Structure 1
């Protein structure tokens, strides 16, 4: 299977499976892509918001929202505006604002290759150093093209070692400790990252036996990976087990495999992963290198090659569209310069308070952890002020579309809903702009949060990829969001 970057972003960031046949393993609960054929019927009349909330049947969950006039900041409607709830991935909107201010719209992440000695006869007289710059978007094809450029320039090897430096960002085995080990959306963080720190696991049944493979495939390169191994265990549960080490050892339950399929699994030592893939790609181009060694600091040397990311607004646009947790953490940590997510989240929260006068309590930059808290009033205030001050968030938000009373997108609707959604187990949020057509129309800013944190925390960690009742709860919460926006657009826009 050929995997493009867009396929990886759209489907694999959640750890979703790509089945070889009709069967595959569980996929992760994530916001379902909006689209498809929509019914034409809008909500019949301006129903009271309390009626819509009661009809959503969200159990003991709290529902909080604020609707503002975007130009004046006047509150048009509110419910529990100061109730602190988990923001989930809505937090990424604020992280985007923070990164744009601290790093600038022209910022690009860079991954560099250095030589500590001169090149003679194609051989570096010293070490070759792979130095990461915290790029969360680096893909195998980009790394393969970098190696191809080095080979074309005459590089054949080095008298010394292959060194790699992943210290541009703190090395974190995972973003949130309260997620299952195998879910790809809970990525490791490092100054060197590749394929969103996931390896491609594929399985198939041949002559009654399981055959498995792990690689770091791109669209044009297919390097194998030895540092991750997956064995099939004869059992139905648990779905996966994981043991860290120089070789990351996984087992997968045979009862979940069907006839064959594939899935991206998280890699917990991204620096070693990137170094192995770089060496494998180099070998394929005739460049002989030793097994990579991690170094604590970058040795002095001359740059002989580099890969740069897209400009920061493009990186953030993809992050907001596909809700990539790794990207959020990497840009947030780069912007803050802190050595832990806890400290970095606090610095960002302090910036929000100083810049917008809103009280946030962030413990990471992606919203994946369940301890962060924001209010609907605070989120709406941040978005409204950011737009008045032209801070650059609105142009990179995704148009989520207007919905009918069944939660389906109404194709061709003239009203735009530029927003960021967020989902955790029994937590759902949406915040953004309602933009009617015409220069004289009133633009609205809104923030909606629904959450039952106690119910979320009661789910055992091993079952948090898809807990019982979670999918239906999320669907009803999202439908409520669409109904509220539909109502507000009809009443106020």
Structure 2
């Protein structure tokens, strides 16, 4: 940073572009057979449903669903509703219920700047600490505003160390170890997170090769990142490799995979150091020089709060999570809820959420390995998911947090009468698809539904190197999604 003026540094940072996207006995309640509800339309045709499923051409896939009356719980249509299925991102609907039921709708996540000594004449006579509170929505712009608030508080220099703390939540190096290590939607999770724990890798072709770098761009700021490093290597495959350098994250990229210029989000494995790196640069833009960040194991007793930043209320955080299906947000809010319940690890947190669900719906069977659905080993039945939406959803206002489903054309709808309203959560993994939510029929009847399709054997057979986009997965997902929409249309 030597030789840069505060004005010049701020001008450079403002160049960022916008960025996007058991101790109890087992509980079991058999699902009653589908039958008409008093005053409701006839039960949807099973023959029509079977024709829709056959038309999707998903050989080898299990297809399960359950359609219920939202008030009475009467089953109107069902196909293998008790079969355990991979939930994919529909699990985020359960996570939203779990977080709201544990933390409450008024919960906010905080990020604090603490000091261990008094501020005299603008100088902090001690250490400065960036302490995370598990906020999954913290962005570079938020850190920029926090740095400005520190400067506005009269701070001009720090005598001691710059420390970062992410111990508010258990640390997880990656959500699912079975995923390729370069996927931006499979980052680390901790109590100090930034930009959904992704860093932007940029490259541009020059006369002597490629210029590469990393930044932490948001809408207003795009500071360069020093803790992530990239080396271009003359090879075809693998496209990326990753190594933990201790204080750095060391990547290589295959030169054959680079075009003239571009960028891509890569996951961050040390989010505490990442946030510290970015905050240090933003503080420098305010004229406050900090040493390189050091990781703090625990917050010392008696620090003074200098400035803080709070997230939006939990329902707003969850609404964005359900809309954009952000895995890191799901893991953060799920673990935050489990910490309140005494869980110490990510695996224990997933089990705690499954136990909570069983207690809430009176059915035990779901098994979770995470809170986002990214891990393919999680299982939930259509009956369990539908019961969660029916019993737990209304009190939490889940329907108001879900994304409206839009039918593009008559082929999507598969029915002459469109539903009045459908809000749902989608879920997609390789050869796994799900759609769960709430339906208001054309006649104004309120329904709850859960639909799952999965070819687990085909998913498990995908080689690790092909898991980002295996052959046939995209077309399979499109056919499955069309099938789900047509089933809803047949129920409308």
Fold match (TM-score > 0.5): yes
Query: 1:461 pairs with 457, 464, 483, which one?
Result: 464
Q: Which residue of 2 aligns with 1:292?
A: 293
- 1:407 partner SS: helix
Q: Hey, what does 1:347 align to over in structure 2?
A: 352
Judged with a 3 Å threshold, the aligned counterparts in structure 2 of structure 1 residues 409 and 238 are, in CA distance, closer, same or farther, namely farther
For residues 281 and 431 of structure 2, what CA distance do their matches in structure 1 show?
A: 43
- CA drift of 1:405 comes to 4.7
| Corresponding residue SS for 1:48 | helix
For 2:182 and 2:198, how far apart are their aligned partners in 1?
A: 10
Please, what is the CA RMSD of the aligned residues? 1.8
Confirm whether residue 52 of structure 1 aligns to residue 62 of structure 2: no
C-alpha distance after superposition, 1:319-338 (max 9, x if no partner): 00000000000000000112
Partner of 2:252: 251
1:321 alignment partner, one of 296, 319, 323: 323
Mapping of residues 306-317 of structure 1, within 5 Å: 306-317=308-319
Q: CA deviation at 1:151?
A: 1.0
Indicate the structure (1 or 2) with the bigger Cα radius of gyration.
Answer: 2
Q: How far apart in 1 are the matches of 2:472 and 2:284?
A: 49
Report which stretch shifted further, 212-221 or 190-199: 212-221
Q: Give the 5 Å matches for 1:444-459.
A: 444-459=447-462
Corresponding residue for residue 276 of structure 1: 277
> Is this contact kept in 2: 1:71–1:443, CA < 8 A?
yes
Q: Offset of 1:208 from its aligned partner?
A: 4.8
1:409 to 1:247, Cα distance in 2 relative to 1, 3 A: farther
1:365 paired with 2:380, answer no
Please point out which of 393, 396, 400 is paired with 2:398: 393
- Size of the alignment, in residue pairs? 448
Residue aligned with 1:137, SS:
coil
Matched-pair contact (CA < 8 Å) for 1:97–1:392: no
SS at the partner of 2:50?
helix
Shift of 1:258: 1.5
Instruction: Output aligned runs, 1:178-197, within 5 Å.
Output: 178-197=178-197
Specify the SS of the correspondent of 1:190.
coil
Unaligned runs of 5+ in 1: 12-44
Which deviations, in whole Å up to 9, do the C-alpha atoms of 1:209-258 show, x marking residues without a partner?
21111111122212111111112222222111111112211111222212
Task: Give the Cα–Cα distance (whole angstroms) in 2 for the partners of residues 46 and 85 of structure 1.
Answer: 21
Structure 1 contact 404–483 (Cα < 8 Å) conserved? no
Shift of residue 406, structure 1, vs aligned partner: 3.4
Cα separation, 2, equivalents of 1:114 and 1:143: 14
CA contact (8 A) 1:200 1:216 kept: yes
Residue aligning to 2:385: 379
* Contact 2:414/2:486, CA 8 A, preserved across alignment: no
Unaligned runs of 5+ in 2: 1-14, 22-44
Structure 1 residues 461 and 340: CA distance shift in structure 2, 3 A: farther
Distance 1:144 1:477 in 2: 43
Deviation sequence 1:342-366 (CA, Å, 0-9, x none): 1111101101111111331111100
Whether 2:426 is the aligned partner of 1:421: answer yes
In structure 2, the residue matched to 1:16 is none
> In structure 2, the residue corresponding to 1:344 is in which secondary structure?
helix
Structure 2 equivalent of residue 223 of structure 1: 223
Cα 1:409–1:112 change in 2 (3 A) is farther
- Post-superposition, which runs of at least 4 consecutive aligned residues in structure 1 deviate over 4 A? none
**1:210 to 2:172 alignment:** no
Change (3 A) 1:384 1:203: same
Specify the SS of the correspondent of 2:482: helix
Distance in 1 (CA, whole Å) between partners of 2:145 and 2:470 is: 41
Seen in structure 2, the aligned counterparts of structure 1 residues 324 and 129 have a Cα distance that, compared at 3 Å, is same
Are the counterparts in 1 of residues 17 and 222 from structure 2 also a CA contact under 8 Å?
no
Once the 2 structures are TM-superposed, how far is the Cα of residue 391 of structure 1 from its aligned partner? 2.0
Give the corresponding residue for 2:435: 430
Does the CA contact (< 8 Å) of 2:16 and 2:221 recur in 1? no
Give CA-to-partner distance per residue, 1:98-128, whole Å, 9 cap, x none.
Answer: 1001000010000000111110111111111
SS at match of 2:427: strand
Do the aligned partners of residues 409 and 160 (structure 1) sit closer, same or farther apart at CA in structure 2, a change above 3 Å counting?
A: farther
C-alpha contact (below 8 Å) 1:341/1:365 kept by paired residues: no
Note the alpha carbon deviations across 1:387-438, whole angstroms, 9 max, x for none: 4x5222111011012354533899x96621110000011100000011246x
Report how far residue 46 of structure 1 moved: 9.2
Which stretch has the larger CA shift, 443-452 or 355-364? 355-364
- Relative to structure 1, is the Cα distance of residues 152 and 413 closer, same or farther in structure 2, using a 3 angstrom cutoff? farther
C-alpha distance after superposition, 1:51-108 (max 9, x if no partner): 1111111120100000111111100010011100100000000100010010000100
Distance 1:487 1:361 in 2: 31
Question: Does the 8 Å CA contact 1:167/1:191 hold for their aligned counterparts?
Answer: yes
Q: Which of 431, 435, 445 lines up with 1:442 in the alignment?
A: 445
Aligned to 1:471: 474
Task: Give 1:295 deviation, angstroms.
Answer: 1.2
| 1:15 corresponding residue in structure 2 | none
Q: How has the CA–CA distance of structure 1 residues 154 and 247 changed in structure 2, closer, same or farther, with 3 Å as cutoff? A: same
In the TM superposition, residue 136 of structure 1 has moved relative to its aligned partner by 0.8
Task: Give the equivalent residue in structure 2 for 1:97.
Answer: 97
In 2, the alpha carbon distance for the partners of 1:76 and 1:409 equals 18
Shift in alpha-carbon separation, 1:407–1:123, aligned structure 2, 3 A: same
**Residue equivalent to 2:35:** none
Separation in structure 2 between the aligned mates of residue 413 and residue 155 of structure 1, nearest angstrom: 60
Contact map agreement 2:162 2:292 (CA 8 A) in 1 = yes
User: How far, CA to CA, are the matches of 2:326 and 2:273 in structure 1?
Assistant: 22
Partner of 2:30: none
- The 3-state SS of whatever aligns with 1:456 is helix
Equivalence for 2:86: 86
Counterpart in the other structure of 1:267: 268
